[in-house]
Amino acid sequence: MTQLLEQAFAEAAKLPDLQQNRLAKWLMGELLAEKKWDSSFAESENLLEELANEALKEHRAGKTKPLMLDKL
């Protein structure tokens, strides 16, 4: 564990139980969301590569237009 994380846990340990539980639930939710994101991204890696290659092919074929941010 890093020193910063140890310091954060030490400070959190000083909080009342209710706040500690809220913090714990929030942290667990964040960690779960991060795991889900990592898993989803890993599973979609091939699809993302295919989509990128398709976009590059269309660009090389002159089928794309510059993005005009002022016209959005």
Domain count of the fold of the chain: 1
For residue 31 the two structure tokens come to 């960690």
The verdict on residue 39 lying in a domain is yes
Give the residue carrying structure tokens 């991204």.
41
The verdict on residue 67 lying in a domain is no
Q: pLDDT tens, position by position, for the chain (72 residues)?
A: 999 999 999 999 999 999 999 999 999 999 999 999 888 888 787 888 899 999 999 999 999 999 989 988
The verdict on residue 17 lying in a domain is yes
Instruction: Please give, one letter per residue, the 3-state secondary structure of 3-36.
Output: HHHHHHHHHHHCCCHHHHHHHHHHHHHHHHHHHH
Question: Which domain does 31 fall in, by range?
Answer: 3-60
Tell whether pTM > 0.85.
no
